[in-house]
């Protein structure tokens, strides 16, 4: 055994030293992306396409860490040890930009890849409703304020609304649009109507979800399956009902349905792009300009994103809401000209 043990130990030592020397600081062959779990599935599809279209390229490494943690990793510095791309389901904060700048990450490309969001709509002949997140929460949550939901008409929810029955056609529980409904509208309405829910969110996530994000199942919310076109048809047949679907459908069916303003903001490509409309959040990737030359293929990877985010592209098929064409053109121009993000644009 003496003859066997010694080489084992030596091999272990030498391999450890070797890898430390080559892997830590020097160049890196693969693209590295971290960040939001919402953007993660889209970036994985882009990675696959990139690999299929660029034979011989090294596989990109995509990690789902959440936007905040991703930003921390991204802004930790320039060089092979730090990721090239961060996926974000919200815009970069000014404080994060400053951290980046402090660590030498100066030029960052901000590319909006699409939208994650939900639009409320009614038929053209509808009662022209105007809702707030709190109204929607009280009308659609399973247990608003911890008690079972007994609201039958919109007037039960808010005396200034018409006395039409609450009938809302929406996506099934497995849908990403439903997640956006729960996270963007219901959670906000819950906190608006009961500020103590804010503490609950931090102390007990499960209780917060049960109270704020569960949708009622007694018939007022009608599960219309994954078929958004069907919801549009139901709305034209029943002008009293509301529908919930991805914003792109609202845009395509602008002839038969109109968006319901939420908190005074009507859904439009401008209000969604600016983030004013509460039902939508833009999805971004942030790319380090300094890495575009250093990491082989990074430029082509980002170009691949721009090629896939169209309305009939594979990303839309997996549930990405394409950004309005103006925003897409802007983002593509940023990629092409490598225009860095200015700090003044951030909050």
Partner 1 sequence: MRRRIARRYAAERRFRWLGLGAIVLSAAFLFFLIITMVMQGAAGFLETRVQLPIDFRAAELNVTPEQLRGDRGDLALAGAGLEGVVDAAAGAAFPTAGGAELLSDGAWLRVRNAVKANPALLRQQVVIDVPVNSDVDMAFKRAGTPAAERIVSAMGDRLSSGLNHDFFGGADSSDPTRVGIWGALKGSLLTMLVTLLIAFPVGVLSALYLEEYAPRNRWTDLIEVSINNLAAVPSIIFGLLGLAVFLNTFGLPRSAPIVGGLTLALMTMPVIVIAGRNAIKAVPPSIRDAALGVGASPVQVVFHHVLPLALPGILTGTIIGMARALGETAPLLMIGMRAFIAAPPEGLTDPATVLPVQIFLWSDEVARGFVEKTSAAIIVLLVFLLAMNGLAIYLRNRFETRW
Residue 148 Cα distances to 44, 164, 230, 335, angstroms: 40, 20, 29, 50
Considering the complex, state which of residue 55 and residue 219 has its C-beta at the smaller distance from partner 1: 55
Rounded CA separation 308/328 (Å): 11
Rounded CA separation 330/316 (Å): 19
Q: Residue 152: helix, strand or coil by DSSP? A: coil
Considering the complex, state which of residue 63 and residue 192 has its C-beta at the smaller distance from partner 1: 63
Rounded CA separation 271/278 (Å): 9
Q: How far is the CB of 281 from partner 1 (least distance, A)?
A: 20
Residue 204, token pair as written in the block:
């007990």
Q: Which parts of this chain interact with partner 1 (CB under 8 A)?
A: 1-2, 5, 8-9, 11-12, 15-16, 19-20, 22-25, 28, 30, 32, 40-41, 43-45, 47-48, 51-56, 58-64, 80-81, 174, 314, 318
Q: Which residues pair with 265 in a beta bridge?
A: 262
Q: How far is the CB of 118 from partner 1 (least distance, A)?
A: 17
Q: How far is the CB of 137 from partner 1 (least distance, A)?
A: 26
Q: Residue 84 gets which letter from DSSP?
A: S
Q: Which residues pair with 258 in a beta bridge?
A: 122
Q: How far is the CB of 240 from partner 1 (least distance, A)?
A: 31
Q: How far is the CB of 5 from partner 1 (least distance, A)?
A: 6
Write the burial class of residue 130 (CB in 10 Å: 0-12 exposed, 13-18 middle, 19+ buried): middle
Considering the complex, state which of residue 43 and residue 149 has its C-beta at the smaller distance from partner 1: 43
Considering the complex, state which of residue 59 and residue 68 has its C-beta at the smaller distance from partner 1: 59
Considering the complex, state which of residue 52 and residue 329 has its C-beta at the smaller distance from partner 1: 52
Q: How far is the CB of 2 from partner 1 (least distance, A)?
A: 4
Write the burial class of residue 40 (CB in 10 Å: 0-12 exposed, 13-18 middle, 19+ buried): buried
Q: Which residues pair with 49 in a beta bridge?
A: none
Considering the complex, state which of residue 85 and residue 327 has its C-beta at the smaller distance from partner 1: 85
Residue 202, token pair as written in the block:
């931090």
């Amino acid at each position: 055994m003496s003859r066997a043990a010694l080489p084992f130990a030596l091999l272990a030592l030498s391999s450890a030293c070797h890898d430390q020397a080559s892997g830590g600081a020097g160049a890196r062959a693969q693209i590295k992306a971290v960040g939001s779990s919402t953007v993660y599935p889209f970036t994985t599809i882009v990675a696959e396409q990139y690999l299929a279209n660029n034979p011989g390229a090294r596989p990109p490494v995509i990690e789902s860490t959440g936007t905040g943690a991703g930003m921390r990793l991204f802004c930790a510095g320039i060089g092979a040890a730090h990721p090239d791309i961060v996926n974000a389901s919200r815009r970069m904060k000014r404080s994060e930009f400053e951290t980046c700048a402090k660590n030498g990450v100066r030029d960052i490309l901000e590319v909006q890849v699409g939208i994650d969001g939900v639009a409320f709509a009614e038929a053209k002949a509808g009662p022209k409703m105007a809702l707030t997140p709190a109204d929607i929460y009280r009308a659609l949550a399973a247990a608003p304020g911890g008690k079972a939901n007994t609201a039958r008409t919109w007037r039960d929810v808010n005396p200034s609304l018409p006395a039409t029955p609450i009938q809302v056609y929406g996506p099934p529980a497995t849908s990403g649009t439903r997640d956006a409904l729960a996270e963007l509208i219901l959670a906000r309405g819950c906190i608006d109507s009961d500020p103590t829910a804010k503490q609950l969110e931090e102390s007990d996530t499960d209780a917060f979800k049960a109270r704020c994000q569960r949708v009622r199942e007694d018939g007022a919310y009608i599960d219309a399956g994954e078929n958004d076109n069907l919801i549009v048809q139901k709305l034209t047949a029943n002008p009293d009902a509301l529908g919930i679907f991805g914003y792109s459908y609202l845009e395509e069916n602008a002839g038969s349905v109109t968006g319901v303003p939420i908190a005074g903001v009507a859904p439009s490509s401008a209000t969604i792009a600016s983030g004013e409309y509460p039902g939508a959040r833009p999805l971004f990737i942030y790319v380090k300009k300094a890495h575009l030359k250093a990491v082989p293929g990074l430029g082509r990877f980002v170009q691949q994103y721009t090629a896939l985010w169209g309305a009939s592209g594979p990303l839309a098929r997996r549930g990405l809401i394409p950004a309005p064409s103006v925003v897409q053109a802007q983002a593509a121009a940023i990629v092409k000209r490598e225009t860095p993000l200015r700090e003044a644009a951030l909050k």
